[in-house]
Each structure stands twice: as structure tokens, then as C-alpha cells.
Amino acid sequence: MADSRSLLRLCGAWLRSLVVAAALGAVCAPAWSLDLMQAYQAALAQDATIRAARAARDAAVERLPQARAQLLPNIAISLGRNKNDIDRTQENSLGQEVEFGDEYFSYNQSLQLRQPLFRMPLFAGLRQAGFVVDDAEATLERELQDLGARVAGAYMEALLAQDALDLVLKQKAVTTTQLDAARKSLEAGFGTRTDIDEAQARLDMNMADELSARQHVDFTRRQLEILIDQPVDALAGIDAERLPLLPPEPADVTEWVRLAEENSPEVRALEARLEAARAEIAKARGGHYPTVDAVAQISRSGSENVTSPSSSYTNRLIGLQVNIPLFAGGYVNSTVRQAIAEQTRAEENLEAVRRDLAVRVHREHRGVTEGVLKVRALEQAARSAQQLVRSSRRSFEAGSRTTVDVLNAEQQLQVTLRDLAEARYLYLVSRVRLRALVGQDRERSVAEINAWLKG
């Protein structure tokens, strides 16, 4: 009878602890949570990397009108008015030197129109400017794609840190209950000191884990806050009931590699840089070619010399101006060699990125494929661990299990739940990264995951 009453008291204490924990959770639950789409929209407007990429794109766009302007007519006007003070000395008829002083004003006015007709460097520069703009546009798109993956990764890491803290707190509550039960059992005369020591040791470890988990929560929240430039109070968690475990579509990884090579903004940017490097070679070789300009000019001047200080002239001209380079000290040949080396570098960078891209696509494709299998396996493991906890509790109540057995079962359950949460988050992040690598709609990927969050 004494043993039965002790067991009833233990069960009652257990239930009271669970009720208190649930009540505290309900009181502390936030009324509003930041979801993934809100975090992405905030980062889209506030992330410094994106703002820098936009500014770089805007700066590169100006290269095109600048290059085009050099092929359009150039009109210039020049105006000048000068005061001339001339001292001269000459011999008179007697052979004596006589000094004279003259002061007068002179002026000149000219209006010139120059139209380039043949300038190889300018033609190549115009083509190059178009590729520079393409490079900047693709680079901005790459940063936008990467932003979705960065926000999703930071968001999921913050959720994982919060889940880890929640599991530690649950484990701490269970251990506290077990410690209380072990003490009461010892007082009732059917417990052991070992059960108390084991529960106390687990509780001390739980408290240390709680401190570490809280620090990690603060760190991951801070990472997300820096990314979106606003404080984060609470995050909407994943709704496991609505989370579909979908393998990549198409399933063949080679098809994903092909899509990445065709649509990746990173590849497009490097292809544009390669074309710009080729245009630079043509631009450098243009230094060997003559230049031809059409020139039209009207000029007027007055008092150009001391012998006719009151005269004025008007000159009108129209014609062609040809400039033929003969020798520049090897400068042009050097720039050509430099441009060829830059083209080789651009080619090798493009090839290196293509190879690395294939590796990254394989990794993220495997992350999605294996993530589906791992999540399903851990869901089954979690169900088994929950059953083990229930069985251990019943056996403990029946006297065939010890406090250590219950604590071990609880710890195994919490570890499994933590691994399950981590597997779910890695699966979701791999989905976003895989789509970003092939240049798919970034907002669609974020919105898809956002639909699986708790409302």
C-alpha cells in the first residue's frame, strides 16, 4: 500500500509539472511571428550586399551611353579675348636702337563639329559596354538568388537553435521531475541514492546545455537581424503536418546540371565577362588602325598680330581628318598581349565555375533526395523513441525499470527529435539552394516554404 501511494504521488507530481509547463508555454507564446517571406522581403530591401549589387548594376548601365556617345558628333565652342602688351626694339636710320611699345586687344572664336567615321577602339568599346551591362545584370541576379538561400539558411538555423533550446528545456523539466521522484522514492524506502545522483548529474548537464543553447539562439537571431536589418522577436516554425517530402523534379541530376549551365546567373555573368575580354582584345588591336573623322569648323579672329592690329578674319572649313599611327613605343602590342591574357583568365574562370557548379548541384540534389529519406527514417525513429519512453515509464511504475532507464529513454527521444528537426531544415534549405543554382524563380521557392510554416 505504501508503494502504491508513493507511485500515485509521483504520477501526480509528473502531471502537475507538465500542466505548469504547458501553461507557461501558453502565456509566453508570442502573438505575432516573423515568417520566411517577410524576412526575405526585408532582406531584399535592407541587405547591404544587394544594395551594393544594385549600385554596381546602375553604374555599369552607364557604360553603354558613354560608349555610344563617343561615336556621336562632338560639338565644341571656344572663345578667347587677350590683352597684348608688346615691347619692340629696332634700329632707326642712324643705326640707333629705338624702343617702341604697343598695346592692343585680340580675340578668337571658333565652333567645331567632329564626327568620328572610323575608330576601331570605339566600335569595340561599344560592344564591350553591352557585355559589361550583361555582366552586371547577371551578377545582380546571382546575388538575388543567393539572398534567398542566405535568408532561408539563416532562418532555418535560427529555428533549429530555438528547437534545440526547447528540447533542452523539456529534458530539464523531465530530469527535474525524475530527481524529485527519486528523492521521494528514497524517502519512502524503496529508492536508491544512485537514482538521485544520476538524476542530479543529468540535471547539471541540462543546465549547462541550456546556457549553450540560449547563446546559440541569440547568435542565430543576431545573424538574421543583421541580414534583414530589423529586430526579431519570434519566428514562425515549420508545420510538420503540412511539410511534403518531395524528391527533386526532374529526378535525374544530370538534367539539373544542364539547367544550371544554361540558366545559372553566375555562369551568365562569367560568359559576359569572357565576351567583354574578347572585345578588349579588338579594342587594343584597334590602336594599329588609322582614325578618320569628319570635321566642320567656323572660326573668327581679330588682331592676330602687331602689324595688323585692327584686322579680323573669318575662316570656314569642312573636311576629313585622318590620323595614322606609326610608332607608339610598343604600347599597343603590350595592351594586346595583356588583353589576350585577360581573355585566358576569363575562360579559365568560366570553366572552373562550371565544374564547381556541377559539384554544388550534385551536393544540393543529394541533400534533397537523401533529406527525404532521412526525415522519414527519423520520423519513424522518433515514434519508436516515444514508445520507448512510454514503456520505460510504465516499467518504472511497475518497479522493473530504474530512474536511469527513464532518463536514458527521454534523452534518446530528445536527441532523435533534434536530429529530425535538423534534417527537415537541411532538406528545405537544400531545396532553395538547388533551385537558386539553376536560376529558377527565387520568390516562388521562398513562398513555397513559407506556405509550410505555422500560421
Per-residue pLDDT tens digits for 201-235: 888 998 999 999 999 999 999 999 999 988 988 89
Give how far Cα 347 sits from Cα of 94, 354, 361, 364, Å: 84, 11, 21, 26
Which residues are CB-contacts of 90 (< 8 A; sequence separation ≥ 6)? 97, 98, 100
CATH number reported for the structural domain that contains residue 238 in this entry: 1.20.1600.10
Q: What is the DSSP letter of 294?
A: E
Place of cell 584597334: 286
14 in a domain, yes or no? Answer: no
Domain-located, residue 64: yes
Indicate the residue type of 311: S
- What SS3 state is found at 248? coil
What's the Rg (C-alpha) of the chain?
40
Chunk the chain into consecutive blocks of 10 residues (it has 455) and report each block's average pLDDT, rounded to whole numbers.
Answer: 40 40 38 79 91 95 95 94 83 78 85 94 94 95 92 94 92 86 78 82 90 94 91 89 89 92 92 96 93 94 71 89 91 94 96 94 94 94 92 82 81 91 93 90 88 84
pLDDT of residue 112: 95
CA atoms within 13 A of residue 202's CA, in its CB half-sphere: 29
Number of domains forming the structure of the chain:
1
pLDDT at 307: 66
Q: Could you list the residue range(s) of the whole structural domain that residue 384 is in?
A: 32-74+119-289+331-451
Residues 243 and 452: beta-carbon distance below 8 Å: yes
Task: Tell me whether residue 277 is in a domain.
Answer: yes
From residue 216, alpha-carbon distances to 33, 226, 256, 276 in Å are 19, 15, 35, 46
Check residue 11 and give its pLDDT: 41
CA distance 324 to 413: 84
- For 338-363, the DSSP string reads HHHHHHHHHHHHHHHHHHHHHHHHHH
* CA diameter of the chain: 155
Inside any domain, residue 349: yes
Q: CA 81 to CA 103: how far, in whole Å?
A: 14
What's the pLDDT score for residue 90? 79
Classify residue 125: in a domain, yes or no: yes
Rounded to whole angstroms, the Cα distance separating 449 from 427 reads 11
CA 223 to chain centre: 14
Whether pTM exceeds 0.75:
yes
| Domain membership flag for residue 390 | yes
Cα distance between residue 375 and residue 192, in whole Å: 40
Predicted confidence at residue 358, as pLDDT, reads 93
* CA distances from residue 237 to 240, 410, 424 in whole angstroms, order as listed: 9, 23, 11
Is 195 inside a domain boundary?
yes
Kindly give the residue spans of alpha helices, DSSP state H, lying in 229-330: 253-263, 265-285
* Assigned domain for 108 exists: no
The answer to whether the CB of 293 falls within 8 A of the CB of 320 is yes
What's the pLDDT at 331?
92
